[in-house]
Structure 1
């Protein structure tokens, strides 16, 4: 699994290192570089999966034109993975000219067995999954599928295609967490095959109203965007292969602040059970406060260098003034008031 990723002249970054833990929280103001980190992971996943380098920029913001931090004409990455307590490292660099990826510099391996290093690095990169739930895409009938799409549009098809026992286990877990979301009681979350041939599926929810006790069934078209996004995150955690890295931008988008603690609980519990690392970005002070001080070592701050404008990454616990900052309030409060970024700016001033 990936433990470190160093960015070199990638988009807004000059040089910065992201340390990846079982649950990594990436925070920072708008345009600080958070999404550029996820773009790097997406690019590397596509390369490792056999996509041609020039095609790997599809849907990545800015495309190849903005891949290298200007005025540089190249970018690269240093990747560290750990498998069975063995550390593997490699460097990979690209050169850009006239907005065309002209050269690919082969992997520079660090280790005695280059073939094994490349195999382990590629395996870890292939297991990166960028989740970008689109509720509108989740509201329709979908074909059966064995892997969740990045937008989670085929969530019903993934659940309905599972072996019966595994499907029931996952749907029970979805119900367990989803029942704690609304004011009314969610009795069951499930997917069923539809049509004569049973090749399509729909996502359903049985709701029980407290006054009458009667159960009403609704399909995904009647579910809220927040509920659908929450179910997409849970489904990714429950269906991705073990050893995966799940990355989610704005993880709590559409979710009421009062449910932040529930979301954090799901991320921590399920990812640990299934040996999946999770990287999320957030602006939500409620989620940051739900973490408590014990999560401080796993928070990374993205910010801009006030002198160069380059994006940088620093561990929250490495900020020299952190004890004084925490004396003023919670991490959520500090983030809301911009005090974390101000302390970093003053340190570079």
Structure 2
């Protein structure tokens, strides 16, 4: 699984490293660079899945015009993958030409094993892309292309991890309609009902029971059951339903997704992603608590941590919501990274919360949420980097 992401001249960043844990929380003010980190992961995931480099960059926010930190025209991204005692690293360096063309300057695969370092470089004259050459599984022997045979297994391991990066942005409005039966949840969760209904009866019941257990703890109506059912004569579509108990009478009513609150639907979508994505995935969610009531923060964090650990799924989330930050206990501090701007250069930086020298004094003044609301975390970093 991916353990590090390194950015160099990527968008608003000069040089920065994000350390990825089972649950990683990226905080910071607006325009601090949080979303740019997710864009880097999305770019790598796209090219690992075979998308042309230029198309992969054009599909990001800002397109090619804002991929490289001004006034540079070259950026590099690196991902480190760890399996047992072995660490593998892939680096790609690209140049954006004035005519908006994109050139892969070089790529590098690195294996760190038992304190011995092995590297393999390519250049644009020799190979267009290691992702294209190696992840397509066309390399059989070293003699076919001059690529060392070990590169194939290394690229395969890194490629699997990068392809399993899932950029997730559940949109409630897309979940309120019938959806076609599906094997994997869409990035906007619009097919949540189709994913649940397509499972085997045993697996569907297991997952829906978990959804119900968490939904029953929401500070709203008394939710008795969350489930999906196939609809229509052909049974190729599905709808999401919820059985709720209203009022003192205790009468149970069934409502479909169209009557569910946006916050509840987003919550169920995140849980469904955690429960159905392949093991070894990295689930990345920008503004994870968007639309959630503050009282749900503890429950959301519990679900991300508990289900992620059970299913071996790493979770990376961004937030600037004080309620969620307040829900972070001291045990979460090592897993929080602060995105912030350098007061002199203006470039984005990433700093582990626990690495802030003034942190003990800051925490004595209040919770992480309170500190963030008052801008004290950013001010302490300005005094260091300024």
TM range (shorter): over 0.9
Instruction: Determine the C-alpha separation between the residues in 1 that align with 2:102 and 2:364.
Output: 52
Instruction: Determine the C-alpha separation between the residues in 2 that align with 1:25 and 1:178.
Output: 23
CA deviation after TM superposition for structure 1 residue 250, in Å: 0.6
Helix, strand or coil: the match of 2:270? helix
CA deviation after TM superposition for structure 1 residue 89, in Å: 1.2
- Counterpart of 2:378? 341
TM-score (normalizing by structure 2): 0.88
Mark the CA change 1:43 to 1:124 in structure 2 (over 3 Å): closer, same or farther: same
Mark the CA change 1:99 to 1:306 in structure 2 (over 3 Å): closer, same or farther: farther
- Counterpart of 1:90? 90
Contact 2:94-2:103 within 8 A present in 1 as well: yes
- Counterpart of 1:156? 193
Helix, strand or coil: the match of 1:286? helix
Q: Name which of 285, 290, 293 aligns with 1:253.
A: 290
- Counterpart of 1:53? 53
- Counterpart of 1:6? 6
Contact 1:65-1:99 within 8 A present in 2 as well: no
Q: Name which of 250, 256, 263 aligns with 1:219.
A: 256
Q: Which one has the largest radius of gyration?
A: 2
Aligned length: 349
Alignment of 1:1-349 (within 5 A): 1-57=1-57, 59-98=59-98, 100-111=100-111, 112=118, 113-349=150-386
- Ranges in structure 1 where 5+ consecutive residues have no aligned partner: none
Contact 1:187-1:208 within 8 A present in 2 as well: yes
Helix, strand or coil: the match of 1:100? coil
CA deviation after TM superposition for structure 1 residue 58, in Å: 5.0
Contact 1:94-1:101 within 8 A present in 2 as well: no
CA deviation after TM superposition for structure 1 residue 59, in Å: 4.2
CA deviation after TM superposition for structure 1 residue 183, in Å: 2.9
Instruction: Determine the C-alpha separation between the residues in 2 that align with 1:57 and 1:4.
Output: 21
Instruction: Determine the C-alpha separation between the residues in 1 that align with 2:365 and 2:223.
Output: 40
- Ranges in structure 2 where 5+ consecutive residues have no aligned partner: 112-117, 119-149
Partner deviation per Cα, 1:212-246 (whole Å, 9 max, x = no partner): 12111111110100001001100110011000000
Contact 2:53-2:102 within 8 A present in 1 as well: no
Contact 1:7-1:13 within 8 A present in 2 as well: yes
CA deviation after TM superposition for structure 1 residue 64, in Å: 1.5
RMSD: 1.1
TM-score (normalizing by structure 1): 0.98
Instruction: Determine the C-alpha separation between the residues in 1 that align with 2:258 and 2:154.
Output: 46
CA deviation after TM superposition for structure 1 residue 52, in Å: 1.0
CA deviation after TM superposition for structure 1 residue 142, in Å: 0.8
CA deviation after TM superposition for structure 1 residue 210, in Å: 4.2
Comparing 102-111 with 47-56, which one deviates more in the overlay?
102-111
Instruction: Determine the C-alpha separation between the residues in 2 that align with 1:173 and 1:266.
Output: 10
Helix, strand or coil: the match of 1:329? coil
Comparing 41-50 with 106-115, which one deviates more in the overlay?
106-115
